[in-house]
Amino acid sequence: MWLSPFSVALNSPLGTAAGEITDRQGLLVGCSVDGQQGIGEATPLAGWTESYEDCHRTLESIASNDERDGVPELPDPTRRPAAAHAVDLARCDARARRESQPLAALLRHQAEIRGTVPDSVPLNATIGDGDIEATVSAATTAIENGYQWLKLKVGSRTIGSDIERVRAVASGVGERARIRLDANGAWTRAQATRVLKGIADYDIEYLEQPLAADKLDGLAALRGRGTDIAVDESLATHSLTEIIEARTADVVVIKPMAVGGPTRAVQLAVRAREAGLTPVVTTTIDAVIARTAAVHVAAAIPDVTACGLATGSLLESDLAEDPVDISEGRATVPPGDGLCGDGFDTLWDGDSSE
């Protein structure tokens, strides 16, 4: 197994719970399975995964203990999810290419899911936290570009302002698109309750992470008020079993990088469905290899709802040309075996630019 560090710049700084970031640091990983090469990506994100340093040390240890052409050991996905993602993806890419099938088909087979892999998956457009005029304009543009789902960022303004923004978008959109809200854990239970009352007449599909990640009881108490409750950050701090048992949510947002790889992401989606939860796949603002894998994860889930995978535009630079075409509110599943046939072969053995 080999690994190679990389860094890709963001178009503009991104604010996170751990502070502002201007670039995404990660590692490429390569391995061979029965002579077939495969590639993976680890792009840690503080608050969601282990640190870059821990991820690097973990992958270095695995590489030093493996033969170059050996199948590497999978790190613990609950403790080192980004490292596990890289290794799992590299192994799955190699196996899918060896078996002459797309990665999504291999993921379905591993999860015992029947059916044909779709050619594309639906996406939601993310609408920022601008004022009413800017928000309505962005929503209108997204619909004109073919999006049928909109995810509106809320939580950084006053409760009253956010309610007015949601009402304005809902009134302007009508039945042309479904609206989702994402508060990123910004509110108290009382504030979230006020928002749910204020938007009750507007058929909002779901409200994502209205409370802090650890407030499982509070999240559960917000359910049944006319708008579904989704969890995102909560899955980084609690297991899916805990979320299900606490009756915390109607929707669960699954980030392959944060849960330990494409194999586990599909397994969690299956478990969520069995428990009556709707799975949604998103990224952690990854480079092109992990983003491509996330599209395959979404395609492996039968009848998947719109996912948050259109994040490549947030990067100023990338590792390779993006094999996923995003148009009319959908992401194509790349043709070819594994991730995208030989599309990433130029990166083999770390041949990437930093």
Write out the catalytic residue numbers. Answer: 153, 255
Cβ atoms of 242 and 231 closer than 8 Å: no
Q: What is the distance between the alpha carbons of residues 74 and 71, in angstroms, rounded to a whole number?
A: 9
Place of tokens 């809200």: 181
Q: Hey, what are 41's tokens? A: 């990506």
Q: What is the DSSP string of 141-166?
A: HHHHTT-SEEEEE-SSS-HHHHHHHH
Q: Hey, what are 150's tokens? A: 């909109």
| Distance from the Cα of residue 112 to its chain's centroid | 22
Helices (H) and strands (E) in the chain, counts: 12, 13
Exposure string of 37-60, with b = 16+ CB inside 10 Å and e = fewer, is bbbbbbbbbeebbbebeebbebbe
Q: What is the distance between the alpha carbons of residues 37 and 29, in angstroms, rounded to a whole number?
A: 11
The 10 Å Cβ neighbour count of residue 350 is: 15
Q: Amino acid identity, residue 134?
A: A
Q: Hey, what are 44's tokens? A: 């840690």
Walk across the sheet containing 2-16 and list its strands.
Answer: 2-16, 19-33, 36-42
Provide, for the chain, the percentages of residues in helix, strand and coil under a 3-state DSSP scheme, each rounded to the nearest 5.
40, 25, 40
Cβ atoms of 334 and 351 closer than 8 Å: no
Cβ atoms of 339 and 293 closer than 8 Å: yes
Sort strands 206-208 and 278-281 into parallel, antiparallel or unpaired: unpaired
